[in-house]
Structure 1
Amino acid sequence: MRRLVIDEASAGQRLDNFLLRELKGVPKTHVYRVIRAGEVRVNKGRAQADTRLEMGDEVRIPPVRLPERVEAKVEFVPPREFPVIFEDDYLLAINKPAGVAVHGGSGVSFGVIEQLRQARPTAKFLELVHRLDKETSGLLLIAKKRGALVALQDQFRERETGKTYAALVSGEWAANKKVIDVPLLKFIGSDGERWVRAVTDPNDAHADQAKRSISLVRVAERLGEHSLLDVTIKTGRTHQIRVHLAHEGHAIVGDPKYGDFEANRALARGPLRFDRMFLHAKRLRFVHPSEGGKEMELLAPLPAECQQLIQALQNQGKAQGRPS
């Protein structure tokens, strides 16, 4: 029988999530079984899976048998710090580079969070508040306290945050096209990969499974055969911006999944050597998770390679006599 006292790092966590972390290797079904049976006690009383733990609570965990496991090869995680946009006792905001996953899994051994933990071995708590696609750069929030994580995730869940992305797309975006309100559907393709598609036909067999998705679009700059957009998302669906813009006929430059393969290859092999997706989380607005927290707005500058591409397109426009 184990008795654990909840510390600051675990305060605010649900009982089931706390147990799944403490009982690594124990099947999830078994964890929920012992909770339902009343074998797990919080302050000597029965508790439900969704019970929120508070600092100082005593959790009694019954003996459980771990399944025999084959010794897994331990992957080396290189420590790494990332450009810091903001940091205090509650949270850390970094400017994530493109090409780096936010966490390990799905064929990726490690990501931003694992590398940060290695770089900061004395940190008691570091958890992702939200996620960005591997190919997307920009603002990423990491909580340094359990309470900050819960508060910030509640804001994201209730859409009380403002998230704006810079996206360079092919073609001239229509100035009057300011709102994209198109449902999106996730599915697994024949290649085993996760995909998302727009659903516009009410008679689509899967229309009832698609989720309403809203993106607000503003033209930041016209660059000849390209448009630089500011896209603010009102919903946070998987691949939302990428699919919405491609659905409108303006795929994001360098998007390996929903973009123009030939155009991407030409740009990567051409003199500009631009071989990433031009989608960057540039602005994030939220309420600071401390008591009486103030509203914050963080900005992440465009990566150098994106700035260089814009400059090159601007120079092309001047050479061709286009107005700036």
Structure 2
Amino acid sequence: MSRIRHLGKEFPISAAVTEIIGEDSEGQRIDNFLIKRLKDVPKSHIYQLLRSGQVRLNSKRIGADYHLQPGDAVRIPPVRTVERSFPPGKKLSKSRFIPFDVLFEDEALVVINKPSGVAVHGGSGVSFGVIEQLRAQHPDWKFLELVHRLDRETSGILLLAKSRAALVELHRQIREGMMEKRYLTLVKGKWRNARQSVKLSLNKYVTSTGERRVAVIADAREKKEGVTAHTVFNLKKSWRDFSLLEAELKTGRTHQIRVHLAHLGFPIAGDDKYGDFALNKELAKRANGPILARMFLHAFQVEVTHPVTGKKLHLEAPLPNDLSEFLLGLDAADKRVRS
């Protein structure tokens, strides 16, 4: 890697890359997208890259206020980044490696069963997420990028591409609705319908404390400002106070399942953003009955076409022990009430 000197400090020069936008970045302004991707580059330089046309969108110049759409190809030019020096305690040693459960791996793709509590990438107070962990554990892998994302507290199937071509193809499948993703979630309340399709427009916003949130748009006049989100819920089992649902994602919007359920009056048990906070506190600390210390949301099934061989992949991740044990506790609690 070549280097230049600026004001007595050393800066590496990265190669140009082209990133295909997925649904997780839909609606985001391109300047904010670049600021997030190029964390060590001054904002003034990022805006200069946009003004000069060095950043290209679908091979064309683009303004800083453009809102990204799935399938957009963003070319990020070589940039100068400040070389950071981490204190010794921040370096990722082998003793801090997370032993991920690998569900599938070949030359193009690796699929893991992500544990709850692990972020998919570093940032927001998290030094080393899944992507940083795997890069450190496998320095021989020349390319590794997230195909999609899971919330930190969500467990389950996570796909990562080991080649640029695989990443582009898998993003195409997501964009065209070819990848099927199903989750298991436990909600507060008695769900009535065996199968229910939910289509609601969502909008992202930032709270007064700077936290990013998503809300359902109720006003028809404002719906054009948001994006449509579609989830199909299937009832798997009910208890006296809870229901276990299978959620089929027809779109992949941020916090889609969580916001849809909260809006319908069935918040996810343990959800610390959109859930029933009093219930969450009770579930985490109660002396009698099963304990739930995190959000009950698990990505348990994905069907996708292999980006190279074209073969169908059916991937499954079993429900983690803590969630399975909580369900057994609900069975026992309901049995005691009936007896």
Place the TM-score, normalised by the shorter chain, in its bin. 0.7 to 0.9
Q: In the alignment, what sits opposite 1:196? A: 214
| 1:1-324 alignment runs, 5 A limit | 14=18, 25=41, 27-31=45-49, 66=80, 69=82, 72-74=85-87, 75-77=90-92, 78-175=96-193, 178-203=196-221, 206-271=222-287, 272-291=290-309, 293-321=310-338
Contact 2:194 2:235 in 1 (8 A): no
In structure 2, relative to structure 1, the CA distance for the partners of 1:217 and 1:72 (3 Å cut) is same
Corresponding letter in the other structure for 1:214: H
Q: How far is 1:263 from its partner?
A: 0.7
Query: Deviation at 1:138?
Result: 0.5
Cα deviation, residue 90, structure 1: 1.1
C-alpha contact 1:198 1:243 (8 A) present in aligned 2: yes
Counterpart secondary structure, 1:101:
coil
Distance 1:261 1:182 in 2: 24
Task: Provide the identity percentage.
Answer: 42
SS at match of 1:182: strand
In structure 1, runs of 5+ residues without a counterpart are 3-9, 38-46, 54-59
Q: 1:72-122 CA distances to partner (integer Å, 9 max, x unpaired)?
A: 535323433311111111111111011111001223222111011111122
Q: Which amino acid aligns with 2:104?
A: F
1:145 CA displacement: 1.3
Q: Contact 1:12/1:150 (CA < 8 Å) preserved in 2?
A: no
Measured after TM superposition, the shift of residue 146 of structure 1 is 1.3
Relative distance call for 1:12 and 1:321 in structure 2 (3 A) is: farther
RMSD over aligned CA atoms reads: 3.4
Residue type of the partner of 1:216?
V
182 and 35 in structure 1: CA distance in 2 versus 1, 3 angstrom threshold: closer
**C-alpha spacing 1:87/1:179, structure 2 compared with 1 (3 Å):** same
Q: Do 1:36 and 1:48's aligned partners in 2 also have CA atoms closer than 8 Å?
A: no
Q: Quick one: distance in 2 between partners of 1:15 and 1:101?
A: 21
What is the DSSP-based 3-state SS (H/G/I as helix, E as strand, rest coil) of the residue aligned with 1:183? strand
Structure 2 residue runs of 5 or longer lacking an equivalent are: 3-13, 22-34, 62-71
Q: Mark the CA change 1:16 to 1:93 in structure 2 (over 3 Å): closer, same or farther.
A: closer
Q: Residues of 2 paired with 1:283 and 1:16: CA distance?
A: 24
Cα distance in 1, alignment partners of residues 268 and 297 from structure 2:
7
